Amino acid sequence: MLAICNQDIIIQINPEGDIEIGNIPAEKKGVGLERLRFDGVKIVDLADFQEFWIEPIASDFFVLHVIEAPGFQKVIMNYSDRINLTMDTGIIRLKTLAEITAEKEAKEKTMLKNRLRQKFKRGVGDSEDLLADAWKLISLIIIFVRTNDPQIASFLDVILPDLREAYPPEKIKDQISKHVADIKNLMQKYYQMKDK
């Protein structure tokens, strides 16, 4: 069987190909080309290997090979470990359990934040009217300042880190103070028009 290859990677099985790679073993017929390699003699399956030659494409993207080539680094691992590859000061290695756990926790926190944002968006309402949403939040803050309501305090504590990240106080303080009079006038006109 002829194929077009890039090193040991089988790009395409093609009668116009320039390399004879033999036949795909019967037990590997259902395996995709992304998992198969040509080792120079026969077609092999990456899932059957416990050590690989790793080609670094980017700091977080690697290609697995079964042959050695300049720039490749040997890593002892299983095929399923490929998602845990990393490069540290030019050395390709598997992430430690602590690194994997920290990444998992960071992803879970991000997912939780995203769910919180969606809940907040739905809870505040008027998703088409972001200006109204902003004023609802301002109303909550004013109520908290005046009443010290613990439920509002808990809600504000939850959203505060995201607000600080999105709108750093040191950056927005000067911007708002420069335009506060104009904002006030525009807001009054906006709500007068909305009430009509």
Q: Tell me what percent of the residues of the chain surpass a pLDDT of 90.
A: 36
- Of 45, 73, 44, nearest to 57 (Cα)? 73
Q: What is the pLDDT of residue 162?
A: 79
At residue 126, the pLDDT reads: 47
| CA distances to 16, 84, 159 from 101, in Å | 47, 11, 25
DSSP bridge pairs for 98: none
Strand partners, 87: 92
Sequence ranges of the domains in the chain: 2-94, 100-195
Q: Residue 9 corresponds to which tokens in the numbers above?
A: 């990677």
pLDDT of residue 87: 93
Each residue's pLDDT tens digit, 98-126 = 999 999 988 888 888 777 777 666 655 54
Q: What is the pLDDT of residues 167-191, one digit of tens each?
A: 777 777 777 676 667 777 777 776 6
**Which tokens sit at 51?**
């050590």
Q: Which amino acid is at 20?
A: E
pLDDT in tens, 9-68: 999 888 888 889 988 988 988 898 899 999 999 999 999 999 999 999 987 899 999 999
Q: What is the 3-state secondary structure (H, E, C) of the chain?
A: CEEEEECCEEEEECCCCCEECCCCCHHHCCCCHHHEEECCCCEEEHHHCCEEEEEEEECCEEEEECCCCCCCEEEECCHHHHHHEEEECCEEEECCHHHHHHHHHHHHHHHHHHHHHHHHHHHHCCCCCHHHHHHHHHHHHHHHHHHCCHHHHHHHHHHHHHHHHHCCHHHHHHHHHHHHHHHHHHHHHHHHHHHC
Per-residue pLDDT band for 86 (boundaries 50, 70, 90) equals: very high
Tens digits of residue pLDDT in 147-171:
988 888 888 888 888 777 777 777 7
Contact 167, 159 (CB under 8 A): no
CA 112 from centroid of its chain's CA atoms: 14
